[in-house]
Amino acid sequence: MNNKKILLICLLLTSLLVLAASCGSGKKSPKTDYFIGGKEGLVASFVQGEPATDVFEKEDFAISLNLENKGEYDIKPNEIIATLVGVSYADFQIKQQNLRNQAPVNGLQRSPEGSTLPTTPSTELRYTANYRKDTPVNIPFDLGVNVCYNYQTNAKTKLCLKKDLRGAEDPNCKINEQKLVGNSGAPVQVSSLFEARAGQNEVSLTMTFTNVGRGDVYSRSLLSKESCVEDRELKNLLNVKVEFSEEDIAVRCEKFNGGNEGTLTLVQGTQNLHCVINTNDFGQETLFEKDIDVVLGYVYKDQISTKVTVKNSF
């Protein structure tokens, strides 16, 4: 191989290395910068063998739940209600149909190095059952547990602002565009946020909130109930707060009567919110980025189920 070919190959390899380095040095998305992310919250599952697939009449058996928090909000004691459903409490001699967690169930955390620390499922809730009736034949039952838990989603993005919004935009700081939103790991998310110029001294925000999990959203007041069952008056109610964490900048939302916090009703798992920010009091005439926070508060209701067959003990 002659020297010219060797030189050409070296130049090509160098160009590829520079290109790879430039691709890898781009800006991180808000999800990476702010949160671990994910679309799950509390995940409940039955402990293996509790309940067993087959149980005998007139013998005690356990129904136990593993609780694992796969989101980023720490659940405090008594913020989980589990309600046994699908079977007769009297027939199965169930004395405690509703159980609450006595210890916190913490969410995902980051190590000092930035990696996600693993969570460990904990057995928090256990029922005791006993089918007291005589069973001449095997009887299958669909046994379920409703799980309601308090949860919160923290979302964040960067807005582009200045006092007088007239004039050309900076390519690195655009006002009229869809923003990348970082969401903490949770089953309800800010699925989109669009910033737009609404006047000389006003910016508008149009946000969409979406239930991305498999369960249902309820008002936080559901936790004051004794059981985790459907409540039509409290279903699909989502508390929303939009604010700047560092400065006292007013955010006015039309659905909240000009305030920055209130309750929305999800329709088919989604809802929109329109808010405005007045920039007249800003001292800076050049464009700058500023973080804005969106906090969603709710109770999330999910269900797990399994089949149990009661057998004759002869």
| Triad 76, 216, 98: Cα angle to 5° | 50
pLDDT, one tens digit per residue, over 256-311 is 999 999 999 999 999 999 999 998 878 788 898 999 999 999 999 999 999 999 99
Pick from 119, 77, 74: nearest CA to 101 = 77
Q: Are domains 42-150+302-311 and 153-300 of this chain identical in fold?
A: yes
- For domain 42-150+302-311, give its CATH number from 3.10.20.30, 3.40.50.620, 2.60.40.10, 3.40.50.150: 2.60.40.10
Q: What three-state secondary structure class fits 173?
A: strand
**Percent of the chain beyond pLDDT 70?**
87
Residues 73, 138: contact at Cβ < 8 Å?
no
pTM: 0.86
Buried-exposed string 187-216: b where 16+ CB fall within 10 A, e elsewhere = bbbbeebebebbeebebbbebebbbbbebb
Segments making up each domain of the chain, as ranges:
42-150+302-311, 153-300
pLDDT, one tens digit per residue, over 158-193 is 999 989 888 767 888 899 999 999 999 999 999 999
How far, in Å, CA of 125 to CA of 173, rounded?
50
Q: Please, which pLDDT band fits residue 113 given cuts at 50, 70 and 90?
A: low
When pLDDT is averaged across residues 8-34 and rounded to a whole number, the result is 45
Residue type, 203: V
Pick from 172, 165, 159: nearest CA to 275 = 159
Q: Do you find a cis peptide bond into 51, omega within 30 degrees of 0? A: yes
How far, in Å, CA of 164 to CA of 201, rounded?
6
The fold of 153-300 is Immunoglobulin-like (2.60.40)
How far, in Å, CA of 90 to CA of 127, rounded?
14
How far, in Å, CA of 96 to CA of 94, rounded?
6
Q: Please, which pLDDT band fits residue 208 given cuts at 50, 70 and 90?
A: very high
How far, in Å, CA of 232 to CA of 236, rounded?
8
